[in-house]
Structure 1
């Protein structure tokens, strides 16, 4: 009789461990999805600010049409990839970020534009948005790292494979130039 109680206790403990592991996976998956949603919100904010930036700069920089056209094209490309996975979306968003940086750098050549309240406000909003995207990216990647680690470590990897939990993609900077240390000349 004692053997039966021991077997029942072991089965109950294993069942409880399985339920706890499963619930942790669900919580982590939900956290990854939520943090991706925050990145998407910030990317959408950037997409919404770009037409205002283009209109503001166009008034001052008529002969910079190619730079503005590239920015507009990059934004449209990013808009078409909104439903893609983070790994597929990262290069497109990186290209958009580079285009915004190029426009802001070219705007330095126009003193009237630099002094324009509209331009300064847009520049500040874009800078804030880029900072928020970076913070959301770090939060998302941290959650992905935790989920992927849990999926690949024993014994939770058995629960993950049994219930179909899969590793997620990181949202990484794909342009090596963005990781390089900037050159400062005085």
Structure 2
């Protein structure tokens, strides 16, 4: 029995190491899937906004013959925003910057559209327009929440895969980028009538 004791100890240590490795990699899969889920929620929120913008543009177009340039800017910004896609398995700061840039173009042109609408009192009183405006405000809040949750899940993921000793086993899992504010976001928006 004594001569097998070293082999039993070595076997036990190997078994513990294997179990630790399995636990670490399974944990990485869990936090990676959480990031992917939250990214899906971000995309869903932006898709909802893009869908609502189409309805808003049609409502405004039908109720008032206003600046075609503003309407065109909203439609083009929406098209650009829907063209930018990100693979959540390999999110880089550059990809997020391009995505943020496209989405800020939508926000900017949408703001100009809503300012243009101020010139049309009959449109502002239109129940459909008011409902769409409320839906857009709600959607912007959903986008903020989705982005915040995405950043939180990226933080959990990065903490998990970058801490020692786990990072020794998780070299295939790279650090993920989080959302950052768009350049100039710290300045207040100036609305002129």
TM-score, length-scaled by structure 2: 0.85
- What's the CA shift for 1:36? 0.7
Cα RMSD, aligned residues only: 2.0
Alignment of 1:158-177 (within 5 A): 158-161=168-171, 164-177=172-185
**3-state DSSP of counterpart to 1:168:** coil
- Unmatched 5+ stretches in structure 1: none
Given the superposition, is the C-alpha separation of residues 63 and 181 from structure 1 closer, same or farther in structure 2, using an over 3 Å criterion?
closer
Whole-angstrom distance in 2 between the partners of 1:145 and 1:29: 11
Whole-angstrom distance in 1 between the partners of 2:86 and 2:151: 18
2:148 is the counterpart of 1:145 = no
| 2:35 counterpart residue number | 32
- What's the CA shift for 1:171? 2.8
- What's the CA shift for 1:61? 4.2
2:20 is the counterpart of 1:17 = yes
- What's the CA shift for 1:182? 5.8
2:138 is the counterpart of 1:135 = no
Whole-angstrom distance in 1 between the partners of 2:32 and 2:119: 47
- What's the CA shift for 1:151? 2.0
- What's the CA shift for 1:174? 1.8
Q: Which has the higher helix share?
A: 1
Deviations 1:71-108 (A, max 9, x none): 11000111211356551312111211222222223322
Whole-angstrom distance in 2 between the partners of 1:136 and 1:71: 23
TM-score, length-scaled by structure 1: 0.88
* Consecutive aligned runs of 4 or more in structure 1 exceeding 6 Å deviation: none
CA contact (8 A) 1:91 1:173 kept: no
**3-state DSSP of counterpart to 1:62:** coil
Whole-angstrom distance in 2 between the partners of 1:95 and 1:119: 22
Given the superposition, is the C-alpha separation of residues 47 and 165 from structure 1 closer, same or farther in structure 2, using an over 3 Å criterion?
same
2:78 is the counterpart of 1:69 = no
Moved more, 109-118 or 67-76: 109-118
Q: Which of 92, 98, 119 is 1:109 aligned to?
A: 119
Deviations 1:3-55 (A, max 9, x none): 32222222221111111110010011111111111111111111111111112
